[in-house]
Structure 1
Amino acid sequence: MPESHLADTVNPSEPLTHPEIRGIELIEDSERHGRARGLFSVWAAPSVSVLNLTIGASLVILGMELWQVFAVIVTANLLWILVGLVAISGPAAGTSGSVITRAIYGIRGNKVIVAFYGWFISAVFLALNWLAASFMGAELLARAGFTDPVLGPVVITIVVAAVTVLVAVYGHNLILRVYPVVATVLLLIFLLVTFFILPSVNWSYAPAEPLQGLPLWSAVTVGFAILASGPLSFSNSPDMARYLPRSTKAASIIAATALGGMLPGIFFTSVGALLATGIDAAAMELGIESALLAMLPAWLGPLFVAGVIINTISLNGMTTYTASMAFQSIGVPIRRIPSAVVVGGIGTALTIYLMMSTSLLEAVNLLLQLLILISGPTMAIFATDVILRRNRYNGTDLFQERPGGPFWYTGGWNIPGMLAAVLGAVSASLFLNSSLYTGPLSAAMGNIDLSVPVALLVTSTVYVLWTRMAAAGRRPQVLTAKVPA
């Protein structure tokens, strides 16, 4: 392995004023630190989110009854277990997830997957969260008298993006130390908001025309797809766990990661659903951000917007941190810090574009559904590979990028991995039902959206079967000498 991958070191006792200079380099056992339980707050801070409130409200708009909405929320959030399962590969390999997936796609194939899939996922989530902060901030500015519909949101986006990039620059050390405090502050703010929302909830809410049959299943499956895209997109979880000692129990990593994302996700998405029962259709058309602030006392509105912005920075800081290492993993000659700046610039541009062309609710529903075509197959194949290998990843082998290396496969491409990812995405697209595109098989079944289960099932099945076929083909033939009679 090249010396450069071992050169940079991070001392756990470094002050927070030191940016993290490490990129995808291997983390030696002597540099490992921390406990699995620290991952809980790392994932809880981003999950205490206005995005969850927005998604919860959108589920009620689809026409489901409250108990059906709650069932969908709980079921979709169980997918956080996959995030935890993937996370255990970080301590095993001692490097980032975008390097570990070389074992799945091959050295060259991984560059294509990370460049396209990884960057798309990062850009979408950066934009969605910055968009939420921008809309909320602009609404608060409008109430204060600053009504410019363009300048306000743009300024907020740029400021929030700049702070987000700073979080990514200071990296893992800052995230692990600060996010527990951030999670606590956000929880208090969002619980206060929940307290003032509850009096407006219509506890006897029922849709004007309760859905039955195919329309009901269409709403349930579309809602599930929107919610599932959240946990399925976090295949970067190894990046946050990679500093843990190699001896850390896998079950502890899975539990801390999954529960950190799952519990706040279930609670605040449910609060969003309850919120929608007290808002009429006309108010919802104006934007959920307006309706939310209208329910809160004057003193809490600014505090809530500050919480939204803090949450946005915490989630996007982690996303930018991960994406900055993706550049390095695909061979771009750039250090992690300038890479983080580039990622922030791309996300800012997409946010401003969406801000000018859509509402928050429309952007969330559309982008999260389309995200399934990428996040579903990549998460499924990563989790399947962790199970197939029993989480045995050799970090040194992952950096052997020349022909003859363990993960060179066929000309740098692992055909089972590439084929599984493509077939998973294509199959899912046939069952997708969104406002932009409806797959032919979804339309034939009455607009039922099975994109998530199809993506997970097809990707995992193809990968397992093709991997076993390829392994069988590589086994040396045993020649038995014939003994003359």
Structure 2
Amino acid sequence: MALAIALAFAAVTVSTSGDALVAAGHRLLGTADSHAIHGIAYAVVAALMVGVALYGHATIVAMQKIVLPVVGTLMVLGFLAFAGNVDMGASGGDYVLGGFWQTWTLSAVLFAAAPISYGPTIGDYTRRLSPIRFSDKQICAALGCGMFVGVMLPSLFGAFTAISIANPTGSYLDDLVTASPAWFVVPIVVISLLGGLSQGVLCIYASGLDLEGLTPRLRRTQTTVITAAVAIVLLYVGVFVFDAVESVTAMTIALNAVITPWVAILAIGALRTRSYDPTELQAFAHGRRGGQYWFTGGWHVGAVAAWTIGGAFGLLAVNTALYVGPLADIAGGVDLSTIGSAAIAGLIYVASGRFIKA
């Protein structure tokens, strides 16, 4: 699950960063805006991301210390750059899905995709924090702030700048660069490139770790190259074979439907668990069998059953331009694929503790 999430979001970040480079080059230098140029831009961005990911955790952490203040400052300047073109009282036209709640739910699901996508992997990073220096409450508070506030700022930036675009087309980044004051075009590229690198590197690095856990005989550098190649293939297929915007939206909603039930299970498990054994957690990755977390032949039956049923409901309730599930209209067009899958999985997981031995 974590591997699929990392691959999908790595492809998305390469796409957005590459599109920003092409749009800025077209406006500032007059370069062509063609499939070939987009393909080259994606390759350049992907190479940068893979290069940083191969260096490992220490390099990624060092890069984040630069990316956060630079991108954060430029986004604040972005609000000032577009403020003159924003009319907060302007009518946005008809709702995309025909009604307020249907459209609002779609927006909420898309917004939730980013923090939800981190759910299965946050343990890989929080376990590096010292339990002596920081309490569980402090770690949880910092994690929640980083995830939700960190997602909220770029989301508000996107919504604010989108309002300033008079005649939007099918590409937000193209419209953003076109509508931007000349002095802010380069900062847009910096935001997209550094922000994309920050997210993409985490995804590629995480996907390499996940594959290494499944194939202990391979080294992390080898698995990172393999997963990066898969992510790049997904990107090119999504952009050049299918409609890029619709592909990203459909992928995001579908991933939410299967990620959220697993995040709900992890959250319940975390609330139940007061401590863990870091050595035993690495048993599978080290090729060992048995131990505290081996459960039934290496499977936690209750968790797998809850996730399977919850995820199945989520996929059946998905409503996208590329795929409409048979339960998509169960709530009159309101998307229940995310919240419904989480609720079902959580209830089944809790109930399974009484009937199923892990």
TM-score (norm 2): 0.90
Separation of aligned partners in 2, 1:161 and 1:201: 34
Q: Report the CA distance between 1:360 and its aligned residue.
A: 4.8
Q: 2:328 pairs with 393, 418, 442, which one?
A: 442
1:400–1:357 distance in 2 versus 1, CA, 3 Å: closer
Aligned residue for 2:223?
339
Q: 1:222 pairs with 85, 106, 124, which one?
A: 106
Q: Does 1:414 align with 2:312?
A: no
1:131–1:469 distance in 2 versus 1, CA, 3 Å: same
Aligned residue for 1:265?
151
Aligned residues: 352
One-letter amino acid matched to 1:425: G
Q: Deviations over 1:62-120 (max 9, x none)?
A: xxxxxxxxxxxxxxxxxxxxxxxxxxxxxxxxxxxxxxxxxxxxxxxxxxxxxxx2222
Does the CA-based 8 Å contact 1:228-1:452 persist in structure 2?
no
Tell me, what secondary structure is at the counterpart of 2:154?
A: helix
Q: Does 1:389 align with 2:273?
A: yes
One-letter amino acid matched to 2:135: K
Q: 1:278 pairs with 145, 159, 164, which one?
A: 164
Aligned residue for 2:141?
255
Q: 1:460 pairs with 316, 340, 346, which one?
A: 346
| Paired residues for 1:326-405 under 5 Å | 326-358=210-242, 360-390=244-274, 392-401=275-284, 404-405=290-291
1:341–1:209 distance in 2 versus 1, CA, 3 Å: closer
Q: 2:20 pairs with 99, 111, 136, which one?
A: 136
One-letter amino acid matched to 1:157: Y
Does the CA-based 8 Å contact 1:376-1:452 persist in structure 2?
yes
1:336–1:421 distance in 2 versus 1, CA, 3 Å: same
Q: Report the CA distance between 1:233 and its aligned residue.
A: 0.8
Separation of aligned partners in 2, 1:362 and 1:275: 21
Tell me, what secondary structure is at the counterpart of 1:232?
A: helix
Separation of aligned partners in 2, 1:305 and 1:399: 40
Q: Report the CA distance between 1:261 and its aligned residue.
A: 2.5
Does the CA-based 8 Å contact 2:79-2:160 persist in structure 1?
no
Name structure 2 gaps, 5 residues minimum: none
Aligned residue for 1:433?
319
One-letter amino acid matched to 1:351: L
Q: Report the CA distance between 1:132 and its aligned residue.
A: 0.6
Aligned residue for 1:423?
309
Does the CA-based 8 Å contact 1:369-1:434 persist in structure 2?
yes
Q: Report the CA distance between 1:359 and its aligned residue.
A: 5.1
Aligned residue for 1:156?
41
Separation of aligned partners in 1, 2:69 and 2:245: 27
Separation of aligned partners in 1, 2:303 and 2:240: 38
Q: Deviations over 1:288-315 (max 9, x none)?
A: 1121112223232123112211111111
One-letter amino acid matched to 1:330: L
Separation of aligned partners in 2, 1:202 and 1:387: 45
Aligned residue for 1:202?
87
Q: Percent identity?
A: 24
1:470–1:208 distance in 2 versus 1, CA, 3 Å: closer
Q: Report the CA distance between 1:332 and its aligned residue.
A: 4.2
Q: Which has the higher relative contact order, 1 or 2, with Cα contacts under 8 A spaced 6 or more apart?
A: 1
Q: Report the CA distance between 1:423 and its aligned residue.
A: 0.6
Q: 1:244 pairs with 124, 129, 153, which one?
A: 129
Does the CA-based 8 Å contact 2:3-2:206 persist in structure 1?
no
1:259–1:296 distance in 2 versus 1, CA, 3 Å: same
1:380–1:310 distance in 2 versus 1, CA, 3 Å: same
One-letter amino acid matched to 1:284: P
Does the CA-based 8 Å contact 1:135-1:289 persist in structure 2?
yes
Q: Report the CA distance between 1:260 and its aligned residue.
A: 1.6
Aligned residue for 2:50?
165
One-letter amino acid matched to 1:184: P
1:276–1:340 distance in 2 versus 1, CA, 3 Å: same
Q: Does 1:323 align with 2:225?
A: no
1:156–1:469 distance in 2 versus 1, CA, 3 Å: same
Q: Report the CA distance between 1:421 and its aligned residue.
A: 0.9
1:295–1:207 distance in 2 versus 1, CA, 3 Å: closer
Aligned residue for 1:313?
197
Aligned residue for 2:184?
300
Tell me, what secondary structure is at the counterpart of 2:351?
A: helix
Q: Report the CA distance between 1:386 and its aligned residue.
A: 0.9
1:404–1:278 distance in 2 versus 1, CA, 3 Å: closer
Does the CA-based 8 Å contact 2:109-2:338 persist in structure 1?
yes
- CA RMSD between the two structures: 2.3
Q: Report the CA distance between 1:197 and its aligned residue.
A: 1.3
Name structure 1 gaps, 5 residues minimum: 1-116, 475-485
Tell me, what secondary structure is at the counterpart of 1:333?
A: coil
Moved more, 403-412 or 230-239: 403-412
Q: Report the CA distance between 1:346 and its aligned residue.
A: 1.4
One-letter amino acid matched to 1:395: P
Separation of aligned partners in 2, 1:305 and 1:357: 26
Tell me, what secondary structure is at the counterpart of 1:393?
A: coil
Separation of aligned partners in 2, 1:220 and 1:334: 45
Aligned residue for 1:192?
77
